[in-house]
Structure 1
């Protein structure tokens, strides 16, 4: 019997997998994608282009010189 997992995301736009049916931890939100663990990891690999936390991306963008 295989387990089902959910893809979750935090406020920093970082992703993880969480066992479906369990309460999502504080600070994380379900994305709506569920499946076997390998499918969830493949989905994350497809959608998570920039692994830097959102706050770091924003800070670096505000420090960049105007082009």
Structure 2
């Protein structure tokens, strides 16, 4: 599954995102709407992470999913 499919299935994926990053609000997830850059930015903001760390966290999460 590539990230485009994450965007297309965002409503289903939101729950998995929320399990991983509980500090993200429903409003955050609605604004992100599947956009990876926005997801990484919100993770940076909410968790105080560097850009590279947020990108790595999203990569690790994405690769650990059973799509």
- Structure holding more strand per residue: 1
| Structure with the larger helix share | 2
With the shorter chain as reference, the TM-score category is 0.3 to 0.5
Structure having greater relative contact order (Cα 8 Å, sep ≥ 6): 1
Query: What is the TM-score when the length of structure 2 is the normalising length?
Result: 0.34
TM-score (norm 1): 0.34
Choose 1 or 2 for highest CA Rg. Answer: 1
